[in-house]
């Protein structure tokens, strides 16, 4: 059903703070005027919160985000709104410990209350690094005020000795090459300088670029937003246009709940398959769907994504980087392809106020080596594979486009690491009984276990295996994997080990069967033996006694339902509440 805009003018929620001549109104208005605002700005025009995740310790959301905020403001002023920039919780994937993922929900909670408690009528979500995109969308969705996403954009291509260097992807590659004796430590240091040539997010189709693509495919950002490089002047234009657009969205009352429908999520799931997107998108999209009451499950990832071909030739699955994806035409080209293949809900509404198909139907592909024709797809079944079996009754995920074809059906002897410290203790030990046919199993790295579900699932291979020229082995864990990483890596195994899932009772020497075509993950022990081990299992790890880590561990849900905090699910709206004065 087509979206019907609300009539304008009407009284907005910000007027509960600023309209009238009461003592409280004068108090609110008078304080804001200390920044030099004339009286006529309080005439009922939309007040737009620009929620900025800029931080000098989130280098992906660098100083250019301040400049982008200024461009958003220009657009808001032009359209007759009143912009206010508000800093919000920012968590960098490359800095935050124990893992930025533990703080996605804290950030979402902070964002939600930042919006609800203050006089905003609409929001511009200025995001970039991996967790900033889902956390701001989750917080905004739980308030359901008109909101639009503007991403900071990816970095320029990295180059080292003439070769493209992908963020993250080459960190893993170079690190393994050093361990294998194929690269010197000095060369690794030299390569470091080539990895991050400009401000912006990872230049691969890692989690940041995947989530920017998810926002666009969901309809929460203007068309073309995802791929524009951070330093390209068109990124600033995008910010300004988004500033203009949010004012009209407030006037029309076009809210996240109008946009984030089941159709929108199905479009995003298929898009993730087409771009070879990050497995992290699975947990983030499940969590976001939970905020708006859309019942998206792992089965939807399997059903919708399975037959989508990966046509975006970007690292870590392919060859190029985000800069080239932008020059090729970016995400609109991919969405057009999905539409032509009958794999897009064309009527899904976007922040534009119209159907997504209107935005992408004429998108032109300027480089068929970057956005591939179907017969040259990286894989015909590019969606996330959702595996099940006695080792993952709640499900586990694997990214086929980043895996080694010869390992997709594999039976091997388990080599178990009880946690990440155990892994680090053992992995470089030449006496470790392991070869390339083994299955590496890492426990206690899930949402409760780490705590926070760190990106350690793509654990590096033992040096003695690397020295043979082997670059991939089957690895299984309850952890996540960086979107920039690759390999035959089974992730998000649910229930997690720290919650007493079957992963907790795998022993070194057990045989494990991985069968991706048949979506099966099996621990080859008898039912009775598995039941007896599970009955004898007791938690092995210390639990935080206080602080946010305690709150997180008490309330985080499994990866199979998005790893949100259980009490944050759902939409609570943005009632104006009581005045404190």
Q: Which residues bind ligand FES (CB under 6 A)?
A: 60, 92-94, 129-130, 167, 201-202, 206, 208
Cα-Cα-Cα-Cα dihedral sign, residues 1, 352, 222, 292: negative
363-387: buried (b, 16+ CB within 10 Å) or exposed (e) per residue? Answer: bebeeeebbbeeeebbbebbbbbbb
Number of other residues whose CB lies within 10 A of the CB of residue 566: 11
* Cβ proximity to ligand FES, 167 vs 343, nearer residue: 167
Contact 68, 126 (CB under 8 A): yes
Distance CA 416, CA 459 (A): 12
Is the CB of 147 or the CB of 167 nearer to ligand FES? 167
Calpha distance 220→270 (Å, rounded): 16
- Strand, helix or coil for residue 51: strand
Min. distance of Cβ 164 from ligand FES in angstroms? 16
Token duo for residue 53:
């995740």
Of the candidates 203, 207, 206, 197, the one whose C-alpha atom is nearest the C-alpha of residue 228 is 203
What is the radius of gyration, based on Cα positions, of the chain?
24
Cα 400 → chain centroid: 18
Q: Smallest gap, in angstroms, from Cβ of residue 101 to ligand FES?
A: 12
Angle in degrees, 0-180, between the axes of helices 298-305 and 262-275, rounded to the nearest 10: 60
Pick between residue 96 and residue 423 the one whose CB is nearest to ligand FES.
96
The minimum distance between CB 475 and ligand FES, in angstroms, equals 21
Q: What is the closest distance, in whole angstroms, from the C-beta atom of residue 361 to ligand FES in the complex? A: 31
Alpha-carbon distance of 555 to 483, in angstroms, equals: 26
Query: CB-wise, 285 or 377, nearer to ligand FES?
Result: 285
Residue among 25 and 94 whose Cβ is closer to ligand FES: 94
User: Phi and psi (nearest 5°) for 299?
Assistant: -65, -35
Q: How far is the CB of 94 from ligand FES (least distance, A)?
A: 4
Nearest-approach distance from CB 208 to ligand FES, in angstroms: 3
Contacts of 475 (CB under 8 A, 6+ apart): 439, 440, 441, 442, 457, 458, 459, 487, 488, 489, 490
| CA angle in degrees (0–180, nearest 5) for 415-419-420 | 100
CB atoms within 10 A of CB 303: 14
CB of 472 to ligand FES, least distance (A): 22
Q: How far is the CB of 481 from ligand FES (least distance, A)?
A: 13
Cβ 203 to ligand FES, closest distance in Å?
A: 9
* 389 vs 483 by CB, closer to ligand FES: 483
Q: Which of residues 350 and 484 has its CB atom nearest to ligand FES in the complex?
A: 484
Whose Cβ is closer to ligand FES: residue 50's or residue 155's?
155
Minimum CB separation of residue 499 from ligand FES in Å reads 28
| Closer residue to ligand FES in complex, CB, 94/426 | 94
The residue among 316 and 502 lying less far from ligand FES, judged by its C-beta, is 316
Omega prior to 348 cis, within 30 of 0: no
H helix and E strand count, the chain: 20, 14
């Amino acid at each position: 059903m087509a979206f019907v805009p609300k009539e304008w003018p009407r009284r907005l929620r910000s007027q509960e703070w600023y309209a009238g001549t009461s003592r409280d109104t004068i108090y609110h208005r008078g304080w804001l005027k200390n920044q030099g605002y004339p009286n006529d700005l309080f005439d009922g025009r939309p007040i737009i919160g620009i929620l900025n995740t800029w931080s000098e310790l989130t280098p992906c959301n660098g100083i250019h985000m301040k400049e982008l905020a200024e461009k958003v403001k220009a657009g808001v002023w032009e359209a007759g709104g009143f912009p206010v920039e508000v800093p919000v919780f920012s968590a960098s994937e490359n800095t935050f410990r124990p893992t930025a993922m533990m703080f996605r929900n804290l950030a979402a909670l902070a964002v939600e209350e930042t919006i609800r408690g203050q006089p905003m009528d609409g929001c511009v979500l200025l995001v970039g690094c991996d967790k900033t995109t889902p956390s701001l969308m989750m917080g905004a969705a739980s308030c359901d005020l008109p909101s639009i996403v503007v991403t900071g954009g990816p970095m320029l291509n990295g180059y080292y000795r003439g070769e493209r260097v992908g963020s993250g992807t080459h960190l893993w590659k170079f690190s393994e090459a050093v361990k294998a004796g194929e690269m010197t430590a000095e060369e690794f240091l030299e390569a470091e300088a080539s990895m991050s040539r400009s401000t912006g997010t990872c230049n691969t189709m890692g989690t940041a670029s995947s989530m920017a693509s998810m926002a666009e495919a969901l309809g929460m950002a203007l068309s073309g937003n995802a791929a524009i490089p951070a330093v390209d002047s068109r990124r600033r234009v995008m910010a300004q246009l988004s500033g203009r657009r949010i004012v009209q969205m407030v006037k029309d009352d076009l809210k996240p709940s109008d946009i984030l429908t089941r159709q929108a999520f199905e479009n995003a799931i298929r898009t993730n398959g087409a771009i070879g997107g990050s497995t992290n998108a699975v947990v983030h999209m499940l969590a976001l769907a939970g905020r708006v009451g859309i019942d998206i499950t792992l089965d939807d990832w399997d059903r919708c994504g399975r037959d989508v071909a990966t046509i975006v030739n970007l690292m870590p699955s392919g060859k190029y980087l985000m800069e080239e994806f932008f020059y090729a035409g970016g995400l609109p080209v991919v969405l057009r392809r999905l539409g032509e293949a009958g794999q897009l809900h064309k009527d899904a509404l976007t922040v534009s106020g119209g159907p997504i198909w209107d935005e992408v139907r004429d998108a032109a592909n300027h480089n068929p080596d970057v956005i591939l024709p179907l017969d040259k797809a990286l894989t015909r079944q590019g969606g996330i594979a959702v595996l099940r079996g006695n080792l993952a009754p709640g499900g586990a995920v694997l990214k086929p486009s980043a895996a080694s074809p010869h390992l997709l059906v594999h039976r091997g002897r388990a080599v178990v690491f009880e946690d990440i410290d155990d892994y680090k203790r053992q992995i470089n030990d030449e006496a470790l009984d392991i070869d390339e046919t083994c299955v590496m199993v890492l426990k206690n790295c899930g949402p409760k276990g780490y705590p926070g579900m760190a990106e350690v699932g793509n654990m590096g291979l033992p040096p003695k295996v690397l020295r043979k020229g082997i670059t991939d082995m089957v690895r299984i864990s309850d952890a996540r994997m960086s979107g920039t990483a690759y390999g035959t890596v089974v992730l998000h195994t649910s229930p997690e080990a720290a919650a007493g899932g079957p992963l907790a009772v795998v022993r070194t020497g057990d045989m494990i069967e991985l069968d991706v075509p048949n979506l099966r993950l099996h621990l080859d022990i008898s039912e009775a033996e598995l039941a007896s081990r599970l009955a004898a299992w007791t938690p092995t790890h210390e639990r935080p006694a206080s602080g946010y880590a305690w709150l997180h561990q008490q309330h985080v849900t499994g990866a199979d339902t998005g790893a949100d905090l259980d009490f944050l699910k759902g939409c609570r709206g943005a009632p104006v509440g009581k005045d404190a004065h």
